[in-house]
Structure formats: structure tokens, C-alpha cells
Structure 1
Amino acid sequence: PAKHSLALLYYVCKQIWYEIGDSWIGQVTFSYDDVVTLMDRLTEDLDKVPLMRHIQVRSHNLVTSTFPFIWLVSLINSLPLKLDCLTILSGLDFEDTDEYRAIESFIKDRRGWRQLRFISINADAIKYSQMTLNRPQPETWRKVIQKRDGGNQNSSVTIYRADRTRARQLATRRWGWLNAILHESARRVYDANEAVPTDDTARLEHNLEETMVVIDRSPV
């Protein structure tokens, strides 16, 4: 390397740190491949946790828990978070009842986030709520959250389904498979009365469309 290059690099890095400090922490999304990693990283430096504004985590390493997502809810609630958005990517390992309880728990006991995006590989949790429990969604959750937030009309719940054709295009480019539904052009608002295709292949495709439940609440 050129003479004094390391000294120059040190000076530049020090100057950047002097100018931006910790401000970058609130400008980026912290993404974790599993919940254990999230727990390890965030508990390493709790002083920085309140500065975070965006976290995304995959729900791996939860299947060994008796109540898998409840453990995640408890973990999130125990941290000094002040997030603008928390994104949870659910996987193949969970039953519809697990995902339903998770969403219910986040709605009833929210701490540390303003918006939650819960993404699942299908709509089984929504169907479980409507067909087994006879609780239409998102109307039921919307009433719960508004009551929980003192009647605040800014608190809301919206459900989206993925457009698989568009999602598949995005997944092969910039977006991951589950993440594709985050793109507005790859989703539609969920309609409980939407007609289900009669063709077997089309019906299977329809059942496998990813679902995203978006919970917006009054500021944390």
C-alpha cells in the first residue's frame, strides 16, 4: 500500500464517525436469519437498541418451543425497542394456530414498535380465524387494536395476498420469495369473499399465495 495509506484511512473513518455518529442506526434495516441470532445481537449492546428503527427476522429456531411465537413476542416486549417497523417472516414449520396466536399476541400486547408486518407462506391463519373461530378478519383484529389504543382511529389492521406471478418475477431479481409481498406491485388487499379457482393447479397456486398482516398503531 501507499505510504501513510492506513493512517489516511484511519483519519477518514474517524471523520465519518465524527460527522454521523450513531445516526446511521436508525436509517438501515437490521435483518436476522433467526430469532436466536436476533436475541444474541441485541442483548450484546442494549444501549444501541433504542436507536434501531427497522428490524426484520425469520422465525427459525422457534419450533422447539411449546408456544413458539409467544416466546418471540415475549422477547420483543422485553427489549427497549422503539421501532418504526418490525417485519417477521414465518416459515413452513408452524401451524395455522401458531401464527394466529402470534398475531393476536402482538395486537393485544404491543411494545416497542409502531408497525408490524407478519408475513406467512399462505393464508391458513386467516382461514382458521374465520372458519374455525368464526372471527372475520381483519375486522375483528381492527376492533381489538382500536379498543386497545383507546379508540385511536389511526390504529389499523390490513391483510394482503401476494400476486404470485409478479412476486415470482421480483423474487428472481431483487426481492426474496417472502419479501416480494413487501413490494406494492406484488400484492393485493385480502378479500374474504374472493372466488377460489376451480382448476386444481390454479387452486393450489391460490392457496400458496403469501399473506402479509400489517398492524399499524399509534406511536410507541
Structure 2
Amino acid sequence: MFLQIPRELRDQIYVCLFASTRITFGEKYISRITTKTMKPAPNSLAILRTCRQINQEAGAFWLGHVLFNFEHPEDLLDKLSKLPPTTLSQIRHLRTSGRPLMLQPIGYGDDVFYRLVWALKLLPGLRLHRLTVLGGSSGEIGYDTLDGLIKYGNGWRELRFITLDSAMHQFTEMDFLGNLDWDKPQPSTWEEILRQRDGADSGASITIYRSIQSDAPGAVMNPYRRQILEGALPREPGKLGVTDTENMELRAKEEGKEVLFVVKRGHAAEIAEQDGPPYTLEDDIRQWAHGMTWNEIRRQCIDFHVDEDMDVDDFFHTEKDDEVEVNNYKDVDEYEWDPVN
């Protein structure tokens, strides 16, 4: 009977179905030392297996409407780097954590933490409508991650950056990462950066929301459970953060209230990532990777394994039945905060 419905209505049903579908991969932290391998529900894309006609019709929709959800940037790269560019470019909705990517660059004796923006540059085929990032609980790292995405990020039209609380714009610690922009007023500084990147009249914008409820994961995503933060963030220009007393008072007042940054690129902005040298930024992983694939980078800079005879899929297949958890959800946008992130 479904195939007797007019094709235009079937297409709308396909869109509604896939827009409420989430496909999850990665290692989820249960505690600081315990993880579980997350996998999608086995029936996530069951409609594609019903018959040849539905497969052909729905196949044009699913990549552009499902939410691809990854626990960490490594998981994202493990899966998406294997896709053909034509497939990767059709993905429109992606979510991951803002946890830094730790690599030991070739010829370098120490580990280096790379922010999410540099990990995404290893996927130049991305053409996302929306990138959602769970920014974690560290104020310094969260600020630096969002700052990098605004300054150098490509591959997305809209960024939704979510933080556990207001710590990202309340920290008072020294600027140990050397970021000279931390003492500048926000979001006006970021808005100026977007205007310089996309044009003064491009429509690029940043809107900040704060949840009106404490300790309610996902509340800030609900228009009825959040409020817009007007004006500058509560930090004084010319100094890092606010005074200790003011900071403690602000933290107590806003403790546990999530913050959402919605960053929109300009209407005609070119979001495609540069897919070849020269790479002018020193933090760019591609500076020293010299054309290596992600699998090669991972094997040599994370796993320190150089056996060219081993099958890559076999090498990374380490899950056991009792360590796997199916990612069940009621709403595609719901999330839990990583206890380690």
C-alpha cells in the first residue's frame, strides 16, 4: 500500500524518517577507565532493504538527512576517511565531541593535542549543512576548540557548539596555550572574524543561548527551555576572565546550565576545504603528514604499528560481544555528557 501513495508524499515520508534517524559509532566512556563500543541499531536503515524500488527511491535521501554521530574525532576519521569523496560530500548532518585528537607527529618525540578543526581538515570532501560539537567541561579547551572552528573551520554551513555549563567564558587561569584572543570581548570578536572570512554583508552570525534549567542534558536544544544571551559574554576586555569573587558568584548562579553557540557561515561562503598544499598554518596536521591517509597517520602516530601486511579492518576490529552497546534514543538530538570529556 505504501507504493500506492503518490511519489511526492513518499519522498516526504523518507525525509521525515531519515531526519529522525541517528547512526552512531565509537568508544563511549562509561567511567575514566571503562569504555563500550557503540553501534547503530540494526534496523536503522531497514527501509532500504524492503524492496528494490524503495531502495532506489530512499537511497537518494538517507545520506543527506540522517545524523552521523561519533563519540570522538578518532572514530569520525576511522569511518568517514574510508568513504569515496562522492559519498562523503552527500553527508549533511554530523555530531562529535570536541575532545582533542592526540598524535605523535612523525619525527617528533612528544604527543601533540590537535583541536577538532585540524582533524576535520583531513576530510576535505565534507559539505555539511550542520556540524554539532559537544564541547566538554574544560573551559580553556572548549574556548580554544570553538575559536579554531570559527577562525579556520570549513566543511559546514552551521555549527552548533554545546557546552556543559558557562565555564568556557568564565575561566581565570593563565593563558597557557598562548591564545592572545582570550582577553577580547566575545562574541563581537568572533563576529568580526566571520565578516572578514565571508564578507560584511554575507549574513554570517553567532547566536548564544543558555539553558534556563540546570543539570538537564539537551535542554538548551529546546527553544522553550533556553534564552538568548544578549551582549558580550561576562568577561572584562583586557584581562582573562573576571575576578575570583565575581567568577565564583557567576558559576554558582549558572552552574549546570548548558550553553549553545550557533555559528552560521555567510550565504555565499565557500565552505570547501582546500584539498592540497600549500598548508600555511603550523597546526595543520597536513603540514607534516605529506599526503598520508588517516589510516597511515593512525597506525604510525597513535598505534605505532607499521606492519604493511596486516589488513587495516582486521587490525581495528577489537570489539567483543559483551563490550558492544546499541545506541538507542528517543530523539535524534538527545545526548549524554562524556564523564571523561
TM range (shorter): 0.7 to 0.9
Relative to structure 1, is the Cα distance of residues 67 and 209 closer, same or farther in structure 2, using a 3 angstrom cutoff? farther
Task: Find the partner of 2:259 among 200, 211, 214.
Answer: 211
Q: Which residue of 2 aligns with 1:84?
A: 129
Give 1 or 2: higher helix fraction: 1
In structure 2, distance between residues paired with 1:19 and 1:63? 38
Shift of 1:207: 3.0
Q: Which residue of 2 aligns with 1:181?
A: 220
Q: Which residue of 1 aligns with 2:117?
A: 73
Q: Which residue of 1 aligns with 2:201?
A: 152
Give the total of aligned pairs.
Answer: 193
Deviates more, 1:147-156 or 1:107-116: 147-156
Higher RCO (C-alpha 8 Å, min separation 6): 2
Relative to structure 1, is the Cα distance of residues 59 and 202 closer, same or farther in structure 2, using a 3 angstrom cutoff? closer
Shift of 1:203: 5.7
Structure 2 residue 185 is matched with structure 1 residue 136: yes
Task: Give, as a single letter, the amino acid of the residue that structure 1 aligns with 2:225.
Answer: A
Q: Unaligned regions of 5+ residues in structure 2, if any? A: 1-46, 104-110, 176-181, 235-245, 272-341
Task: Provide the secondary structure at the position in 2 that maps to 1:136.
Answer: coil
Structure 2 residue 145 is matched with structure 1 residue 102: yes
Q: Which residue of 1 aligns with 2:163?
A: 120
In structure 1, distance between residues paired with 2:92 and 2:48? 29
Q: Which residue of 1 aligns with 2:67?
A: 29
Shift of 1:51: 0.3
Q: Which residue of 1 aligns with 2:279?
A: none
Task: Provide the secondary structure at the position in 1 that maps to 2:184.
Answer: coil
Contact 1:90 1:120 in 2 (8 A): yes
Contact 2:92 2:127 in 1 (8 A): yes
1:97-119 Cα deviation digits (max 9, x unpaired): 22222112111112100001111
Relative to structure 1, is the Cα distance of residues 40 and 150 closer, same or farther in structure 2, using a 3 angstrom cutoff? same
Relative to structure 1, is the Cα distance of residues 10 and 86 closer, same or farther in structure 2, using a 3 angstrom cutoff? closer
Contact 1:86 1:116 in 2 (8 A): yes
Task: Provide the secondary structure at the position in 1 that maps to 2:183.
Answer: coil
TM-score normalised by L of structure 2: 0.50
In structure 2, distance between residues paired with 1:205 and 1:69? 33
Shift of 1:189: 1.1
In structure 2, distance between residues paired with 1:22 and 1:150? 33
Relative to structure 1, is the Cα distance of residues 88 and 203 closer, same or farther in structure 2, using a 3 angstrom cutoff? closer
In structure 2, distance between residues paired with 1:109 and 1:193? 22
Shift of 1:34: 1.8
Shift of 1:25: 0.7
Contact 2:146 2:161 in 1 (8 A): yes
Relative to structure 1, is the Cα distance of residues 163 and 21 closer, same or farther in structure 2, using a 3 angstrom cutoff? same
Contact 1:159 1:190 in 2 (8 A): yes
Shift of 1:77: 2.3
